[in-house]
Amino acid sequence: MSRSTGHLTVAMVALLIAWPSAALGQSDWRTSTEVRNLYEAARAEGEVVIWGAQRRELAWIQEPFGKRFPGIEVKWTADRSAATKLITEYRAGRFAVDLFHFSLGGMLPVDRRRVLGANDWTIWGNGPEDALLDGKVGLTHNLVYAVVYNEDLVSAEDLPTTWAGYLEPRWQGKLVASQFLLPRLLGFLALEWGEAKAADYARALIDKQKTLITRAPREGILQRGERLVAVGEFVGSAMYWKSLGMPMHWAATELMPATQFGVATLVRAPHPHAAQLLAGWMTTDEAKITRERLMFSADVRPGSGSEIGALLSAKGGRIVFEDLGNMTDRAALYERLSAIVTGQVR
C-alpha cells in the first residue's frame, strides 16, 4: 500500500468514525473534559431531583442516564401544579429541587420569579437556537397536535386532511376532545385563522357536532367506540397508546401546532453539578433519541434528525412551533376560547 493510499485509508476510517457524530453535531460531549469534570463532581453529590408535569416525561430518565453516568440516582416528582409548588417552596426558603422540566408556558412564571438558573449548553454541542429565556431553558422535545382515531373502527382514507373537515355532518356524535388540550389547539388555530373564525369553529364542534368534551382519558373513550376520533391529541400519545396494544393511530391535518418543552437548572439547586449534568444530557441527541424510542415524544424542529419529525414532514402537515414570540398571544387567545369549550360562555 502506497503512502498516499495509506493516508487516504486512515482519513476515510476517521471520516467514517466521525461522520455519524458529526452528522448529529454533538460528538464532543462524550469526550469533553468539562463534561467529565462535571460528572465527577455530580457523582460526589450522588443524586439529582427533577420535577415535571407527568410521569411519562420523567420515569424513563433513570435507566439511560444511569448507563451513561453511573452512580447518580434520579429522583422525580410529577405534578401539573409543580410550578406553583416550586415557587412557594422557594419563597419559604426551601431548596430541594435541582431541575424543572416543563412546557415553555410552565417555565415562564418560574422564570419571572428568578428561580431558573443559568447553564452552559454549548459543552453539550448545542447552539443558541437550542435554548430560550436568555439561555436558561434547554430545549428537549415537542408535543405535536393532530387527530387520533380508533383504527379498528375508522379507515385512514375516510379522515379529512383539514380541521374544518371534521365539521362535516358524518362526524356528528363521533368526536371527542380533551377539555385541557382543545383550547390550546384553538389558540394556535386562532393565530392562523383569527379569533372569530376559531371561536366559530369551537362552537360548531361543540354545538353542531356534539363533540364529547371531557377530562376523562380519551384513549378509553376511543377504544370502546364511544367516540371514534379525538380532535386535538398529540401524535406521541397515539404512538404510545399503540405501543400499549390499543388500536390507535394519528392523522395529519393541514396545520399541526407543536408545543415546546425544555429543561432548566434551578438557582440554589442542592445538587448543582448533578443538575447541570442531567439538564445538559437531556438536550443531547442521545437523550432525545432514547426519549423518542421509549416515550414517542421528539424534538421535531427542523434539522433535529428525529424519525417522528421526518414522519410528520412526510405527511405534509405544516408544523407551527410555539416560541416566545407567539406564546403570549396564543395564551390570551386560548384562555378566551377555553370559556367556550367549558360552557362558561355559550
Partner 1 sequence: MGLSRGSGLGCSGLFVVGAAIVTAVYLVSAPLLMLVVTAFRGPDDFLPFEPDAEWTLEHLRTIYYDPVLYQVTIPDTLTFVIGSVVCTFVIAFSLAWLVERTDLPWRNVLFTLILFPLLVPTIVLAIAWIYLFGPNAGWVNVALRSLLGLSGDGPLDVFTMPGLIACQSVALVPFVFLLMSATLRTMSPALEEASSTSGASPWTTFRRVTLPVLRPGMLAPLILTALITLEQFEMPLLVGLPARINVFSTRIFYELNPDTGLPIYGRAAAVALPFLVIGLLLLGVYNRLIREADRYVTVTGRGYRPRRLPLGQWRWPAFTAAVAYVGVTGILPAIVLIWISLYGYGMPSLGSWPEVSLEAYRNVINDPVFIGATLNTLMVAGASAALVVVLGAVIGWVLARTRMPGRAILDVVSFASVGIPSVIAGLAAMLLYLTLPVALYGTVWVLVLTYSYRLAVTTRMSRVGLMQMHTELEEASAVSGGRWLTTLRRVIFPLLAPTLVSGFVLLFIIGVREFTLAMILGSPDNLVLSVLLWRFFEDGSASEASAVASLIILLVVPVIFVLRRLVAPKAEYG
Q: Which residues bind partner 1 (CB under 8 A)?
A: 54-56, 59, 75, 77-81, 83-85, 87-89, 91-94, 96, 105, 108-109, 112, 173, 179, 183-184, 206, 212-217, 219-221, 223-227, 237, 240-241, 244-246, 331-332, 334-335, 338, 342-346
Residue 227 in 3-state DSSP?
coil
Closer residue to partner 1, CB minimum distance, 37 or 81: 81
Question: Quick one: 181 or 308, whose CB is closer to partner 1?
Answer: 181
Parallel, antiparallel or unpaired: strands 212-214 and 255-265: unpaired
Is the CB of 25 or the CB of 109 nearer to partner 1?
Answer: 109
The DSSP symbol for 219 reads H
Rounded CA-CA distance 238/150 in Å is 10
Pick the closer one to partner 1 by CB: 21 or 54: 54
Please state the closest distance from residue 138 (CB atom) to partner 1, in A.
22
Q: Kindly report the CA angle at 299 between 58 and 243, in degrees rounded to 5?
A: 60
Nearer to partner 1, 40 or 335 (CB): 335
CB of 63 to partner 1, least distance (A): 13
Beta carbon of residue 314, minimum distance to partner 1 (angstroms, whole number): 25
| 163 in Cβ contact with 254 (< 8 Å) | yes
**Shortest separation between residue 189's beta carbon and partner 1, angstroms:** 15
DSSP single-letter state for residue 139 = E
> Is residue 265 within 8 Å of 210, Cβ to Cβ?
no
Span between the terminal Cα atoms of the chain, in Å: 82
Contacts of 345 (CB under 8 A, 6+ apart): 339
Q: Which is nearer to partner 1, 28 or 89 (CB)?
A: 89
Distance in Å, CB of 214 to partner 1, minimum: 6
Closest distance to partner 1 from the beta carbon of 339 (Å): 8
Residue among 84 and 161 whose Cβ is closer to partner 1 = 84
276's CB contacts (< 8 A; 6+ apart) are 38, 42, 119, 120, 265
The least distance separating partner 1 from the CB of residue 133, rounded to whole angstroms, comes to 15
CB 90 within 8 A of CB 82: no
Nearer to partner 1, 41 or 59 (CB): 59
User: Rounded distance, CA 68 to CA 289, Å?
Assistant: 14
Closest CB 309 distance from partner 1, rounded Å:
22
Angle between helices 181-193 and 195-203 (to 10 degrees): 140
SS3 155: coil
